Structure 1
Amino acid sequence: MKAFGFLSFGHHAIGGQQGPDARQTLHDALAIAQAADEIGVNNASFRVHHFAPQASAPMPLLGAIAGSTRNIEVGTGVIDLRYENPLYLAEEAAALDLLADGRVALGVSRGSPEPADKGWEAFGYSGSEDNASDMARKKFEAFLAAIDGYGVAKAAPAEKQYPRMYRSGTPLPVFPHSPKLRKNIFWGSGTNASAQQAARDGVNLMSSTLVSEADGRSLGEVQAEQIAAYRAAWKDAGHDWTPRVSVSRSIFPIVTERDRQLFGPTATNEDQIGSLGEGRNVTFGRSYAAEPDVLIEQLRADPAIAAADTLLLTIPNQMGVDVNVSILQNFAEHVAPALGWQPNTEGKVTGYES
């Protein structure tokens, strides 16, 4: 494990519920990321969900973080492509990458089940499958073509152009263009097949917080197999650079009595099998909460953490800035060094190209 970061779902309260509202949640996210940057944490990532009181449009927050920090990466885990205009997303992603000087780790994917029935249709998009995975795939291909600088439209006849810049019919790319952006894109994968496709596509791998297999193996065992399949497919594809692989876990180091009271009861001894409502069972990761020496041994025994280069801690953002910063500080001081962590002090994940 060369790097660690945090992954926030951005939960907020609505309708008189207790907890931080959307405004407070966004300001807390910014403050947590700024503190994490000072600690040397490598990555600040956010989930993207629609029609739910959680984080949704990520670019304003990522831009605010990038503009107020020096070294930390900003990212998503993941942007649901079913809801996106791929060319506009390419423009936004390139602009963010340029503003952040390459400090981007943008996760995209088909997305997960949600409250809305085909909610992407309300956003103006439609797919031929119930879960619109075919549409997400087409959008991903268009997104990759756009960030790679290929022409995605044709120039109008000269007399219709303003300003007149191109010969009629010239292929036109979207702008701005960030040449290194492709190496900062991750595909969020929950299966071996999608991981292998990500390798063929030439993007990094973000192994999901849950996996589609529910065969009795641990999340770490299933993900380790997925990572091995990804790297084998990457080698077969002949790409000329080394990709990154991230996994996510709920981890709470118990250093103080407050930590014990807050997180001790959340510890589980094994992963959970559950359903996402799509007619299939999935494997969810366990929650780790223990003293640092115990945590180190538990995490060393997780084959996916051993195989990945980046570990994202899923944080309880509703508990506010102080609690979440203490989780990151405790992990950085008492756990991460034993796992091979390299603090981020140079504006990129140590050992990898930006």
Structure 2
Amino acid sequence: MERIGFLSFGHWGPGQGSRTRTAADALLQGIDLSVAAEELGVDGAFFRVHHFARQQASPFPLLSAIAARTSRIEIGTGVIDMRYENPLYMAEEAAAADLISGGRLQLGISRGSPEPALEGASAFGYRPEPGEADADMARRHTEVFRKAITGAGMAQADPRYAGGATGLLPIQPQSPGLAERIWWGAGTRKTAVWAAKLGMNLMSSTLLTEDTGVPFHELQAEQIQLFRDAWAAAGHPHAPRVSVSRSVLPIVDEEDNYYFAGSALRDGRDQVGVIDGTTARFGKSYVGPPDHLAEQLAADTAVQAADTLLLTVPNQLGVDFNAKLLGTIVEHVAPALGWSR
């Protein structure tokens, strides 16, 4: 395990016990937790993106603010729903955030998961073309976005206002190297192979939208191997990266026990359900004393196959609590996975 980061879903609301009651709380605490995580030696600060919900939405202002307050930690998303995105505007924002960070942006994108709004992307002005599904539209937006961040010409120059230039103009600014730091959030083995062929890194979460009856970590390890095989066959010149997400909740005091003891009983095994009419397998949560967590994660074949582990954090418990959680993991759990600061 080369890198460990946290993944925040950015929830906010006035629920009982919430320490993140407003959108301002969620944003400012996201910055503060990233600063604290960097001081602890954590390698990455990642944020989930959802629309029409009390969660983080447009990520680039937050990522840029974190970039300005930190110097080493990677900053990223897990993931941006490309159905909702204007590819060229997103390319400008991503390049700007990457330049502010000094090249630390790791951008997770995908077709996205179910959103609260019915056909929410259409409210943003984006609808599938005739014969397209939502996934096709997301991939079309992705193709344009990835082309734009490589410096390809995207709009015809007007010589009157372009200093006499002709031909196609690229978006500005450009951030060299960003194109190699785009990750696809793949929910199946098939989409992981597709991402590898195109040269995108693999981001795999605690959910796969398929099920073969084997434990979640084994199915995810198979997905990772298929991705790596497809990458090698494609002959890309740079090495790929692979991340997996896990809910890891160490219990070291009474406060932890109060919040997580029930999760150990409820979420300590895989679950199988249906999402959008498709059978899906959800990975279990890891809850318990740090030495127990270290043993369990060392036996997780997908964690062992990945180079980056993203720890989903209960962000509504606030910065201090989550800094303590991350500190416990990097001190007492992560070394058993081969990670070091």
TM normalised by structure 1 equals 0.92
Q: CA RMSD in A?
A: 1.5
| Equivalent position of 2:41 in the other structure | 40
Whether contact under 8 Å (2:109, 2:184) holds in the other structure is: yes
| Equivalent position of 2:306 in the other structure | 308
Whether contact under 8 Å (1:300, 1:339) holds in the other structure is: yes
Whether contact under 8 Å (2:250, 2:290) holds in the other structure is: yes
- My pick for the range that moved more, 104-113 or 209-218, is 209-218
| Equivalent position of 1:232 in the other structure | 229
Secondary structure of 1:323's partner?
Answer: helix
Secondary structure of 2:309's partner?
Answer: strand
- Cα distance in 1 for residues equivalent to 2:12 and 2:64: 20
| Equivalent position of 2:136 in the other structure | 134
- Cα distance in 1 for residues equivalent to 2:316 and 2:35: 17
* Distance change in 2, residues 1:166/1:130 (3 Å): closer
Which deviations, in whole Å up to 9, do the C-alpha atoms of 1:324-346 show, x marking residues without a partner? Answer: 11110000111111211132xxx
* Distance change in 2, residues 1:17/1:296 (3 Å): closer
- My pick for the range that moved more, 313-322 or 212-221, is 212-221
Whether contact under 8 Å (1:118, 1:130) holds in the other structure is: no
Say yes or no: does 1:179 pair with 2:176: yes
Whether contact under 8 Å (1:213, 1:222) holds in the other structure is: no
Say yes or no: does 1:79 pair with 2:76: no
- Cα distance in 1 for residues equivalent to 2:28 and 2:168: 42
**Out of 252, 256, 277, which is 1:255 matched to?**
252
Alignment of 1:201-350 (within 5 A): 201-267=198-264, 268-276=267-275, 278-343=276-341
Unpaired runs of at least 5, structure 1: 344-354
Alignment of 1:47-86 (within 5 A): 47-86=48-87
Offset, 1:239: 0.6
**Out of 180, 190, 193, which is 2:190 matched to?**
193
- Cα distance in 1 for residues equivalent to 2:163 and 2:289: 66
* Distance change in 2, residues 1:3/1:234 (3 Å): same
* Distance change in 2, residues 1:131/1:208 (3 Å): farther
Which deviations, in whole Å up to 9, do the C-alpha atoms of 1:307-339 show, x marking residues without a partner? Answer: 000000111111111111111000011111121
| Equivalent position of 1:124 in the other structure | 125
- Cα distance in 2 for residues equivalent to 1:86 and 1:110: 13
Offset, 1:163: 4.3
| Percent sequence identity over aligned pairs | 54
Unpaired runs of at least 5, structure 2: none
- Cα distance in 2 for residues equivalent to 1:40 and 1:151: 40
- Cα distance in 2 for residues equivalent to 1:45 and 1:131: 28
The aligned length equals 336
* Distance change in 2, residues 1:279/1:33 (3 Å): same
Offset, 1:215: 2.9
Secondary structure of 2:339's partner?
Answer: coil
| Equivalent position of 1:350 in the other structure | none
Offset, 1:264: 2.2
Whether contact under 8 Å (1:218, 1:270) holds in the other structure is: no
- Cα distance in 2 for residues equivalent to 1:253 and 1:208: 20
| Equivalent position of 2:155 in the other structure | 153
Which one-letter code corresponds to 1:38 in the other structure? E
- Cα distance in 2 for residues equivalent to 1:251 and 1:107: 21
- Cα distance in 2 for residues equivalent to 1:196 and 1:163: 41
- Cα distance in 2 for residues equivalent to 1:179 and 1:93: 12
Whether contact under 8 Å (2:205, 2:246) holds in the other structure is: no
| Equivalent position of 2:146 in the other structure | 144
Whether contact under 8 Å (2:268, 2:287) holds in the other structure is: no
Which deviations, in whole Å up to 9, do the C-alpha atoms of 1:221-267 show, x marking residues without a partner? Answer: 11101100100000000011111100001001222232222222212
- My pick for the range that moved more, 292-301 or 124-133, is 124-133
Secondary structure of 2:125's partner?
Answer: coil
Offset, 1:18: 6.6
* Distance change in 2, residues 1:188/1:23 (3 Å): same
Whether contact under 8 Å (1:118, 1:131) holds in the other structure is: no
Offset, 1:26: 1.2
- Cα distance in 1 for residues equivalent to 2:45 and 2:144: 26
- Cα distance in 2 for residues equivalent to 1:6 and 1:131: 32
